[in-house]
Amino acid sequence: MKKNILSLILLCALCACGSSDDDEESKDMTYPVINTADIVAVPTDCQVFKRGDVIPFNYLFTDDTELGAYNIEIHNNFDHHTHSTSSIECQMDAKKEPNKPWIYNKDFTIPSAQKSFTARHDIAIPADIDPGDYHFMVRLTDCAGWQQIHAVAIKITE
Amino acid sequence: MKNLKYMSLVLALLCVVSLGFTSCGDDDDDDDIAAPTIVMGEANLEDGEICVKADVAAPGRTASIQIVVTDASGNTTKVTKNVTDSKYIGVLNIPDFHLHVDIADKGVVAGDLLKFTVTDGNGRSTTAQKSITEEEDDD
């Protein structure tokens, strides 16, 4: 009788432990990754594009659980500001006031259940925008809500 | 009778043991989720706009973000901007939040206060504030 009861206690304790571990495993605690290795990533720091051409955006996104969405934003850097993820310094034009700067801001959804996704878009550069230094920002969010950002300094010429 | 007493004792022990173990798995309770935290970056005047930068962590996921500009005393509101960009809403963290807020004809001057409020999905809010400055020359 005592043996049976002790076995029952042990079984309950093990079940309780087991369910607790499952909860931990189901949590996604990892940031998604914006990859620049093992892929011809475009754009990259200091890359130069011409007005009227396209930026053939090409990046590999990965996540240990499930990818969610991404955003691409392009804004001028005529004032030489910096972003936390900027690591490379490119040769920049002199500071200037914007006249008709290019502003691009678009959201994209990644199909469900993807742990790896290659994002590829041809982004047309308007022919009448201010040439100069720009920041190309990629913001990737996974399904859990973790967000990663990658800032690239590019130049647009006439 | 002796068996009944023994069984009761064992059942009570079982309850204590089960509670001890299951309490470890209560990390998801809303009460345990911390309020958002904000590290303010810039709040600079730039040609009729304020450049706002911040880093945000919101374990309860961002539900709304509001930017308010007041005079230096905090009494008079000059600008209110509700941030609706989907990239900033419903997320656990925002690295390098960056937004230009239009302040044309709003009478905003250096020294005014910028208040940055993040509310999470559980209704918990955090407000950070920063004195507005002229655009830095060397950055």
pLDDT tens for each residue of A117-129: 999 999 999 999 9
Q: Is B95 within 8 Å of A85 when comparing Cβ atoms? A: yes
| pLDDT, tens digit (0-9, with 9 covering 90-100), for B67-115 | 999 999 999 999 999 999 999 999 999 999 999 999 999 999 999 999 9
Report the pLDDT value the prediction gives residue B1, as an integer from 0 to 100.
53
Does one domain contain both B112 and B126?
yes
Confidence check: pLDDT of A13 > 60: no
Residue B139 lies in a domain: no
CA distances from A66 to A141, B19, B73 (A): 10, 33, 46
Rounded to an integer, the average pLDDT of A101-110 is: 97
Q: Which domain holds residue B19?
A: 2-27
- For A80-95, letters b (16+ CB in 10 Å) and e give ebebeebeeeeeeeee
Domains in chain B, number: 2
Does one domain contain both B7 and B38?
no
Residue B74 lies in a domain: yes
Q: Is A20 within 8 Å of B24 when comparing Cβ atoms? A: yes
User: Model-level pTM?
Assistant: 0.80
User: Which residue does chain B place closest to A149, by CA atoms?
Assistant: B95
Report the pLDDT value the prediction gives residue A83, as an integer from 0 to 100.
77
Does one domain contain both B6 and B62?
no
B24 CB neighbours in chain A (<8 A) are 20
Does one domain contain both B36 and B17?
no
CB contact A135 to B (< 8 Å) = no
Does one domain contain both B22 and B68?
no
Q: Which of A21-25, A77-81, B19-23, B56-60 has the lowest mean pLDDT?
A: B19-23
Rounded to an integer, the average pLDDT of A52-56 is: 97
Residue B64 lies in a domain: yes
Report the pLDDT value the prediction gives residue A37, as an integer from 0 to 100.
75
CB contact A149 to B (< 8 Å) = yes
Sign of CA dihedral A13, A16, A20, A26: positive
Does one domain contain both B65 and B83?
yes
Confidence check: pLDDT of A108 > 60: yes
Does one domain contain both B6 and B47?
no
Rounded to an integer, the average pLDDT of A1-16 is: 50
A29–chain B nearest CA distance, Å = 10
State whether CATH 2.60.40.2550 applies to domain A27-157. yes
Does one domain contain both B92 and B108?
yes
Does one domain contain both B42 and B82?
yes
Q: Is B96 within 8 Å of A79 when comparing Cβ atoms? A: no
Q: Is A149 within 8 Å of B95 when comparing Cβ atoms? A: yes
CATH for B112? 2.60.40.4070
CB contact A19 to B (< 8 Å) = yes
Does one domain contain both B11 and B60?
no
A54–chain B nearest CA distance, Å = 24
A84 compared with A56, residue with greater pLDDT: A56
Does one domain contain both B116 and B103?
yes
Report the pLDDT value the prediction gives residue A11, as an integer from 0 to 100.
45
Confidence check: pLDDT of A14 > 90: no
CB contact A97 to B (< 8 Å) = yes
Does one domain contain both B67 and B106?
yes
Residue B83 lies in a domain: yes
Which of B10, B21, B47 is facing A17, going by the closest CB pair?
B21
* Edge-to-edge order in the sheet of strand A132-142: A47-50, A147-157, A132-142, A67-76, A104-109
